[in-house]
C-alpha cells in the first residue's frame, strides 16, 4: 500500500493541540476532518485504474470522490443540524463574496504565473504541450483541492480555531501533500499558490477565486508554458 500522501496528516497535530489546550469542546469537530484525511491517504493510489477512462478523467474523478464528495458526506453525516446549503457555505461555496474573490484572483494571477515560469526556467524543465481538453479537465480538477484545503482545512477550521492556526494547518497540509516537490526551488510555485489562495479565501470567505487561480495556473503550465521552454 502506497501512502505517499501521509505528510499531509502531520499539520493536523496543530489544531488538535490548540483545541485540547484552549477549546476542548471543539475537539469533536476535528475528528471528521481527520477521518477524511486518513481515508484520502489510504485510498488515493489504490483507486487509480479502477475506472476504465483516460488518465486525466480518471485522476479528476478520483480527486472529486476523495477530496470533495467523501469529506462532504462525512461532515454532513457527522452534524446534520446544518442543511447541505449551509454546510457548503461553511466551505466557501456561496454567492456572497464571489465577485470579490474572482477579482482578487485576477489581480494576483501574474504573480502566480511568474513563479511557475521562473521555476520552470531555472530547473530547465521541458514538457510537451498538453492537449487543450486535458488542460480544461485539470482546470476543473483543481476545484477538488481548493474545496478541501481552502474550504475545509481553512474556512471551516477557522470557525473553531484561531485564524493563525487555520492558516498554518491549511497551507502546511497543502504543501506536504506534494512530496514530489519537497526541497529546493520546485517548491516555490506551491508555496506561492497556497499563500495567495488562502489569503483570497480569508478576505472573501469564498473559494471561487482560489479555484480559478489554481485552475488557470494548471492551464498555463500544461498548455502554454511548454511552447516557450
Q: Which among 125, 97, 111 has a CA at the least distance from the CA of 193?
A: 111
Q: Band the pLDDT of 127: cuts 50, 70, 90.
A: low
Q: How many folded domains does the chain comprise?
A: 1
Of the chain, the percentage scoring pLDDT greater than 90 comes to 70
Domain assignment present for residue 42? The answer is yes
Query: How far is the C-alpha of 141 from the C-alpha of 145, rounded, in Å?
Result: 8
> What backbone phi and psi angles, to 5 degrees, belong to 138?
-70, -25
Q: Is the pLDDT of residue 32 over 70?
A: yes
Show the cell assigned to 26. Answer: 471543539
- To the nearest whole number, what is the mean pLDDT of the chain? 91
In this predicted structure, what is the pLDDT of residue 1? 67
- Mean pLDDT of all residues in 181-191: 84
Q: Is the pLDDT of residue 54 over 80?
A: no
CA angle 51, 143, 138 (to 5 degrees): 55
CB 126 within 8 A of CB 229: yes
Domain assignment present for residue 77? The answer is yes
> Who contacts 40 (Cβ-Cβ below 8 Å, separation ≥6)?
5, 8, 66, 67, 70
In this predicted structure, what is the pLDDT of residue 123? 82
Domain assignment present for residue 100? The answer is yes
Q: Is the pLDDT of residue 167 over 70?
A: yes
Domain assignment present for residue 1? The answer is no
Domain assignment present for residue 84? The answer is yes
Domain that holds residue 108: 6-228
Instruction: State the pTM of this model.
Output: 0.94
Amino acid at each position: 500500500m502506497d501512502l505517499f500522501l501521509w505528510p499531509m496528516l502531520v499539520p493536523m497535530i496543530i489544531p488538535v493541540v490548540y483545541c485540547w489546550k484552549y477549546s476542548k469542546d471543539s475537539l469533536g469537530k476535528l475528528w471528521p476532518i481527520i477521518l477524511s484525511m486518513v481515508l484520502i491517504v489510504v485510498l488515493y493510489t489504490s483507486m487509480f485504474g479502477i475506472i476504465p477512462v483516460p488518465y486525466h478523467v480518471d485522476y479528476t474523478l478520483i480527486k472529486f470522490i476523495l477530496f470533495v464528495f467523501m469529506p462532504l458526506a462525512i461532515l454532513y453525516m457527522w452534524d446534520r443540524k446544518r442543511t447541505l446549503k449551509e454546510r457548503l457555505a461553511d466551505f466557501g461555496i456561496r454567492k456572497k463574496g464571489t465577485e470579490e474573490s474572482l477579482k482578487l484572483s485576477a489581480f494576483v494571477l501574474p504573480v502566480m504565473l511568474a513563479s511557475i515560469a521562473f521555476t520552470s526556467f531555472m530547473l530547465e524543465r521541458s514538457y510537451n504541450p498538453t492537449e487543450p481538453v486535458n488542460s480544461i479537465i485539470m482546470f476543473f480538477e483543481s476545484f477538488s483541492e481548493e474545496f478541501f484545503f481552502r474550504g475545509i482545512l481553512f474556512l471551516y477550521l477557522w470557525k473553531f480555531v484561531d485564524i493563525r492556526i487555520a492558516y498554518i494547518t491549511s497551507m502546511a497540509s497543502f504543501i506536504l501533500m506534494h512530496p514530489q516537490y519537497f526541497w529546493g526551488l520546485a517548491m516555490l510555485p506551491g508555496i506561492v499558490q497556497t499563500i495567495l489562495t488562502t489569503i483570497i479565501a480569508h478576505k472573501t470567505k469564498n473559494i471561487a477565486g482560489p479555484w480559478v487561480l489554481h485552475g488557470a495556473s494548471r492551464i498555463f503550465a500544461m498548455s502554454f508554458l511548454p511552447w516557450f521552454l
